[in-house]
Structure 1
Amino acid sequence: MSSDALLARLDLVRKTGNGRWVCRCPAHDDRGPSLSVRELDDGRVLLHCFAGCEVQSILDAVGLAFEDLFPERIGGDVVKRERRPFNAADVLRCLSFEALILCQYATTLAKGDALTTDARERLLTAAKRFQHGVEVTHA
């Protein structure tokens, strides 16, 4: 399967580079794009949700299976593993909404105002997502 069959089943798809897209993750209530999709030169399709959704959950939500992410192997070719499948620009595009959350709460705290319990939890979620973004770009 090419990435086209997957992308046709996703919302708010935006191309970010050659063989790279960001979009809403179908496995959770996504306000902004948190799913990064990348098609490698050998035809493999990589998925990464920066909100933490498992690939299987994403595939289930769009009615696909793991085999759909891999091209048919002809002649037993060995596929090389790629060390860093997501570049920093793709990660930052996916985390742009989280950056707004961090800025909003940083401004509130800088004014000396207290955060509600819900706001503190959301701030921690945004920080965790940023940490996860750092981890996937520094594999």
Structure 2
Amino acid sequence: MSDPFELVESHLSHRGKVRLHGRDHLRAACPACGGKSTNTLSVRRGDNGTVLLKCFKSGCEVETIAHALGLDLSDLFPERDDARPVSKPRRIGLMLPMQAIELIASEAWLTAVAAENLANGYTLTDVDLARLRDASARIQGVYKELHQ
């Protein structure tokens, strides 16, 4: 299989003008939503060789862009060398302890307000319920983060 970035570049070149911005970046017209401007689609080679696609015109999904080029999503990824062990992903974005406490305090306050509203006979809207679910998920996320 050829290099995924070169494959995408080749398919885009057959459709129109491609502007190269170095070895690992190009701009072209998005094949999914059309147009002639070469500023609508950004194509980059990721750190691991994966092709990264971004439509600035309509926010087209990566799968839609790939299919418009006659490609599958798997074509955007380099072949995997099964002999090479897969490294464990780095954990990034860990919260500082004070950030975790502030998040829990904020979400607990929101939960207390909702409980008081219910106790006083108010009905929670769908938006209120969705926000409570988000609060619960955030608190659970902090718990999981601290227990890994």
User: Structure 2 CA distance, aligned partners of 1:77 and 1:44?
Assistant: 15
Is 1:44 the counterpart of 2:53? The answer is no
TM-score (normalised: structure 1)? 0.52
TM-score (normalised: structure 2)? 0.49
Point out where structure 2 has 5 or more consecutive residues left out of the alignment.
93-148
User: Structure 2 CA distance, aligned partners of 1:72 and 1:17?
Assistant: 23
> What are the superposed Cα offsets for residues 24-72 of structure 1, whole Å, 9 maximum, x if unpaired?
1110122202100001242111101112111111111111111111112
Structure 2 equivalent of residue 20 of structure 1: 25
User: Structure 2 CA distance, aligned partners of 1:15 and 1:59?
Assistant: 19
User: Structure 1 CA distance, aligned partners of 2:6 and 2:20?
Assistant: 12
Is the alpha carbon distance of 1:12 and 1:44 closer, same or farther for their aligned partners in structure 2, counting shifts above 3 Å? same
User: Structure 2 CA distance, aligned partners of 1:80 and 1:18?
Assistant: 26
Is 1:30 the counterpart of 2:35? The answer is yes
Structure 1 equivalent of residue 86 of structure 2: 77
Structure 2 equivalent of residue 8 of structure 1: 10
- Larger radius of gyration, structure 1 or 2? 2
Structure 1 residue 79, shift from structure 2 partner: 8.1
Structure 1 equivalent of residue 112 of structure 2: none
Structure 2 equivalent of residue 59 of structure 1: 66
